[in-house]
Structure 1
C-alpha cells in the first residue's frame, strides 16, 4: 500500500498559510494536532514541549498567527508565554486537562479545550479564532 498524501487545501481554507505554534508535552497529542493543522493548510511551528523553547521562538523573527498552549508543561505553567502572546496581540487557546475554574482569572476569556481533545474540533475552533484577522 502507498503512503497517504496530505490533503491539499485552497486559500479559502481558514488555516491556509497561517503559522500556528503548538506548545504541548504529550508527544502523540502534539503530533495529532500538528497533522490536523497541516492537513488544513497551516504552517505548524513546533510542536515544542518546553516553555523556554516556546519563548525563544516567540522572541525570534518567525511570524506566528496563533498558538495552542498546554497549560502545564512538565510541571511548568504556560502563563508567562500566554502573557507574552497577549502583549503581541497573537491569538491563542488552551488545551489542557484542567477545568475552566482552575485557570487563572486573567485568562478567563481564553478559549479552552479540555483533554481528551477532539482534534478536528480544536482545528475548527482555531479557524474561528482567526477569522477576520
Structure 2
C-alpha cells in the first residue's frame, strides 16, 4: 500500500468483476466513490463527480468506453484501462496509458495503481 488513500471511479460492465475490483481497491486502502456499468452512467459520473483516478474497462457491454476516457483525460485525472483483450485493444491516442489485463491479481492491481499515481512506469 502506498499509505495514501485515493478516491476511485470504477467503470466495469460485468457485475462480478466490478464487485471484485471494488473489493480489491478497498483492500489496498482506496475508496470507491462511483461505480458505472453502462456508458451513459460512466459519462455522467466522469463529468459529475470528483475522484483521484479511475479504472476503466475498455468494452462496456459491446460499446467503447473511449468517450469516458476522453472526458477523464480532459479533466487531467489519471486512469488505468482494465481489459481482457490485451494492449492491442487500447487505441493509439491512449497508448501511453497504463493497463491491467484481466484477470489480474491484487498485487498486479496494486503495482499498476502505484505506478499510475506516482508517475512511474509499470
Bucket of the pairwise TM-score, normalised by the shorter protein: 0.7 to 0.9
| Equivalences for residues 1-133 of structure 1 within 5 A | 13-14=3-4, 16=5, 18-60=6-48, 62-131=49-118
Contact 2:82 2:102 in 1 (8 A): yes
Kept in 2, the 8 Å contact 1:71–1:95? The answer is: yes
Q: TM-score, normalising length from structure 2?
A: 0.87
Tell me the C-alpha RMSD between the 2 structures: 1.8
Q: Give TM-score scaled by structure 1 length.
A: 0.80
How far did residue 101 of structure 1 move? Answer: 2.1
- Structure 1 runs of 4+ off > 2 angstroms? none
Write the distance in 2 (CA, Å) between the matches of 1:116 and 1:38: 18
Equivalent pair of 1:23/1:47 in contact (CA under 8 Å):
yes
Rg (Cα) greater in structure = 1
Kindly provide the CA deviation profile for residues 43-67 of structure 1, in whole angstroms up to 9, marking residues without a partner as x.
102331111111111222x211100
Q: How many residues align?
A: 119
